[in-house]
């Protein structure tokens, strides 16, 4: 809103006018007049759109984490580590007591995860070091056979 000091006396519209002070009159215009009545400022719409986008992004991230977490839990409970027997033993299922001689790397596996599967309790750092030595510095790839015979005691 804008106020203008009028030097000439305006018609007296109120009886409670203070003598000696100039009469102020409100002029139409300004930023508020440019918008239609009842419409919010464009910055309010931008903030609302940003908030909706942030909430949508959070929902997508939570859904993704929930799905991958459920898939991991269900996959690890039902499948377990995939292992292949050496050529001297026909299959792992044929003799349950036969040690696992190689491990087939699954997508998302790390040396730490493989070491923890081979040695469920205790410190796995020495086992991780031995696995890394067996790889010779090569990266793990899904489907790769990792020889694990003689690593666990």
**Helix intervals (H) in the chain:** 31-34, 42-78, 111-118, 125-135
Give the tens place of pLDDT for each residue, 30-43: 665 566 667 888 88
What's the domain count of the chain?
Answer: 2
Task: Please report whether residue 4 resides in a domain.
Answer: no
In whole angstroms, what separates CA 22 from the centre of its chain? 62
pLDDT at 4: 58
Together in a domain, 50 and 89 = no
> Is 91 found in the same domain as 142?
yes
Q: How far is CA 135 from the centre of its chain?
A: 32
Radius of gyration (Cα) for the chain, nearest Å?
A: 38
Contacts (Cβ under 8 Å, ≥6 apart) of 82: 103, 104, 106
Segment (H or E) for 104: strand 102-104
Task: Please report whether residue 51 resides in a domain.
Answer: yes
Q: Considering the domain boundaries, does residue 16 fall inside one?
A: no
pLDDT on residue 46: 93
- Residue 74 maps to a domain: yes
Largest Cα span, the chain = 114
pLDDT at 93: 45
Residues 88 and 71 in one domain: no
In this structure, are residues 115 and 124 in contact, taking their beta carbons and an 8 Å threshold?
A: yes
- Average pLDDT over the chain, rounded to an integer: 75
Q: Are residues 88 and 70 in the same domain?
A: no
Q: Do residue 29 and residue 48 come from a single domain?
A: yes
Output the pLDDT for position 52.
96
3-7, 24-28, 85-89, 127-131 — which is least confidently predicted?
A: 85-89
CB 104 within 8 A of CB 143: yes
Indicate whether 11 belongs to any domain: no
- 29 and 45 inside one domain: yes
* Stated pTM of the model: 0.35
CATH number at residue 93: 3.10.350.10
Q: Give the integer Cα–Cα distance in Å for 111 and 88.
A: 26
- 31 and 54 part of one domain: yes
Q: CA-to-CA distance for 119 and 134, rounded, in angstroms?
A: 17
Q: Which domain holds residue 132?
A: 83-147
Same domain membership, residue 126 and residue 141: yes
Residue 59 has a pLDDT of 96
């Amino acid at each position: 809103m804008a106020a203008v000091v009028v030097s000439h006396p305006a018609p007296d519209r109120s009886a409670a006018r203070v003598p000696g002070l100039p009469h102020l009159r409100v002029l139409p215009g300004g930023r508020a007049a440019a918008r239609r009545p009842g419409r919010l400022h464009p910055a309010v719409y931008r903030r609302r759109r940003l908030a909706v986008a942030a909430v949508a992004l959070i929902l997508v991230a939570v859904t993704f984490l929930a799905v991958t977490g459920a898939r991991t839990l269900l996959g690890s409970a039902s499948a377990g580590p995939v292992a292949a027997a050496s050529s001297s033993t026909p299959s792992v299922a044929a003799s349950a007591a036969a040690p696992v001689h190689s491990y087939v790397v699954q997508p998302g596996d790390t040396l730490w995860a493989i070491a923890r599967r081979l040695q469920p309790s205790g410190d796995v750092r020495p086992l991780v070091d031995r696995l890394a030595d067996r790889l010779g510095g090569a990266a793990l790839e899904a489907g790769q056979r990792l020889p694990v015979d003689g690593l666990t005691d």
